[in-house]
Amino acid sequence: MRHDARLENIIRVYRAKHQMSQKELADKIGVRRETISHLEQGKYNPSYLLVKAIADLFNVTVDDLFKTEGDLNV
């Protein structure tokens, strides 16, 4: 991986696959909807525990939630 490659999260994609709103996801993992919004926009660096909770909810790995720019295929 290039050192200047951006890490992108694809939480929005998994939410859509599960027909889940930001608020529904936030409620399920115990955070505010704004946290999910900022996370999806790349404006928030989450803790590992938060990312793990999201991954567990969608039954995927933490690595599945984050991709580099060149690898955004789900």
**Which domains, from first to last, does the chain contain?**
7-65 (1.10.260.40)
Per-residue burial over 11-44, b if 16 or more Cβ lie within 10 Å, else e, is: bebbbeeeebebeebbeebebeeebbeebbeeee
Taking only the tens place, the pLDDT of each residue in 5-30 is 456 789 999 999 999 999 999 999 99
Task: Report pLDDT for 60.
Answer: 95
> What's the pLDDT at 68?
63
As a whole number of Å, the end-to-end CA separation of the chain is: 18
With 0-12 CB in 10 A as exposed, 13-18 as middle and 19+ as buried, what is 60?
A: middle
pLDDT of residue 71: 59
pLDDT given at position 1: 44
